[in-house]
C-alpha cells in the first residue's frame, strides 16, 4: 500500500489540514460556534491521502469518521487549534486551512452557569489568532492554501485574502442560503497569483479531488 501511495502527485509531502468549526466557551454549558460541518476539510484530507501525502487533520467538533490512513487531532477552541498547528509546523510541507475558525471568543469565560435576568445581555468578545496568516508569515514557510467563506463579492474578497495573508492559493466558496456550510454540494473558485479556475458545483468529495490536483500542480511548480 505504501508503495502505491508513494506514486501519487503528493508522494512524500507532509500535509496539515484544519477542518470543522471551533467552539468557544461562554460559561460551563454554553458555546459560541458556527455551522461548519467539517465535510469539506475531511474530503480534502481524504483526497490528499489518496494523492500520496502524509496527512494530519486537525479538527474542531464534527460528527464525521476519520478518513483511512489520516492522523486525526481533535480540538475544541481556536486557541487549541492554533497550538496544534504550531506544534506541527516544523514537519509541515503543505498547510491547508479549511476550518471555519471563530474570529472572536468571549473575552472572559464565566466560572459558573450564567443566570438569566435582564431583558438584554451584552457579551464582550476578543479576537482569536489568525492561524493561516501566522503559518504563512512563519519562516521557513510551508506552501499555504486558504479557504474563503463569503456571502457576496466572492472572488474579490477571496483575492484580497490571498494577497493579505500572502497565500499560494485560495479556494473561495459562496456560503449562506443553503450553500456551502451544511450541505453536501459546493462550488469553488480557486485563485492564485496570476491565475484562476472554477470548480463547478458537485459533491464535496469530487471537488476536493480536483482541488488537490490543482494544489499538487502549484506545489510542484513552487518547489521546482
Q: Kindly state the cell numbers that stand for 158.
A: 477571496
Part of the chain binding ligand CTP (CB under 6 A), chosen from 4-12, 97-105, 199-207, 212-220: 97-105
Say whether 147 counts as a known binding-site residue.
Answer: yes
**CA dist., res. 160 & res. 39, Å (int):** 25
Say whether 103 counts as a known binding-site residue.
Answer: yes
148: partner contacted, choices Ca ion, ligand CTP, none (Cβ within 5-8 A by kind): ligand CTP
Catalytic residue among 9, 11, 34, 89: 34
128: partner contacted, choices ligand CTP, Ca ion, none (Cβ within 5-8 A by kind): ligand CTP
Residue 179 is given by DSSP the state B
Residues 6+ apart with CB under 8 A from 119: none
Of the pair 128, 186, the CB lying nearest ligand CTP is at 128
15: partner contacted, choices Ca ion, ligand CTP, none (Cβ within 5-8 A by kind): none
Q: What is the DSSP string of 47-63?
A: HHHHTT-EEEEEE-S--
Residue 190 in contact with residue 207, Cβ under 8 Å?
A: no
Q: How many CA atoms lie within 13 A of 7 on its CB side?
A: 3
Of the pair 11, 79, the CB lying nearest ligand CTP is at 79
Tell which one of 128, 136, 173, 186 touches ligand CTP (CB under 6 A).
128
- What are 153-156's contacts with CB under 8 Å, separation 24+? 154/189, 155/189, 155/191, 155/196
84 belongs to the binding site for ligand CTP (CB under 6 A) = no
Of the pair 10, 169, the CB lying nearest ligand CTP is at 169
**CA dist., res. 175 & res. 36, Å (int):** 10
Residue 98 in contact with residue 17, Cβ under 8 Å?
A: yes
Residues 6+ apart with CB under 8 A from 79: 105, 128, 129
Residue 64 in contact with residue 98, Cβ under 8 Å?
A: no
How many residues interact with ligand CTP (rule CB under 6 A)?
16
17 belongs to the binding site for ligand CTP (CB under 6 A) = no
- Catalytic residue check, 34: yes
Helix 39-50 and helix 204-223: axis angle, to 10°?
50
199 belongs to the binding site for ligand CTP (CB under 6 A) = no
Of the pair 103, 156, the CB lying nearest Ca ion is at 103
186 belongs to the binding site for ligand CTP (CB under 6 A) = no
Residues in contact with Ca ion, shown as a per-residue x/- string from 72 to 111 under the rule CB under 5 A = -------------------------------x--------
Binding-site annotation: residue ranges for CTP = 103, 113, 129-132, 147, 161, 165
Active centre residues (catalytic): 34
Amino acid at each position: 500500500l505504501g508503495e502505491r501511495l508513494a506514486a501519487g502527485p503528493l508522494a512524500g509531502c507532509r500535509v496539515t489540514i484544519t477542518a470543522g468549526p471551533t467552539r468557544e466557551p461562554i460559561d460551563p454549558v454554553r458555546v459560541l460556534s458556527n455551522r461548519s460541518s467539517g465535510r469539506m476539510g475531511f474530503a480534502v484530507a481524504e483526497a490528499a491521502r489518496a494523492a500520496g501525502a502524509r496527512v494530519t487533520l486537525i479538527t474542531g467538533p464534527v460528527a464525521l469518521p476519520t478518513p483511512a490512513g489520516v492522523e486525526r487531532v481533535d480540538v475544541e477552541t481556536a486557541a487549541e487549534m492554533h497550538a496544534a498547528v504550531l506544534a506541527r509546523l516544523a514537519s509541515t510541507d503543505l498547510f491547508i486551512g479549511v476550518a471555519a475558525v471563530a474570529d472572536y471568543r468571549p473575552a472572559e469565560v464565566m466560572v459558573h452557569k450564567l443566570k438569566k435576568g435582564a431583558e438584554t445581555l451584552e457579551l464582550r468578545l476578543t479576537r482569536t489568532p489568525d492561524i493561516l496568516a501566522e503559518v504563512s508569515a512563519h519562516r521557513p514557510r510551508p506552501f499555504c492554501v486558504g479557504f474563503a467563506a463569503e456571502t457576496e463579492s466572492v472572488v474579490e474578497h477571496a483575492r484580497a485574502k490571498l494577497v493579505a495573508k500572502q497565500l499560494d492559493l485560495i479556494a473561495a466558496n459562496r456560503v449562506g442560503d443553503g450553500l456551502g456550510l451544511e450541505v453536501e454540494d459546493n462550488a469553488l473558485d480557486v485563485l492564485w497569483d496570476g491565475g484562476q479556475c472554477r470548480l463547478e458545483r458537485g459533491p464535496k468529495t469530487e471537488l476536493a479531488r480536483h482541488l488537490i490536483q490543482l494544489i499538487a500542480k502549484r506545489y510542484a511548480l513552487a518547489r521546482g
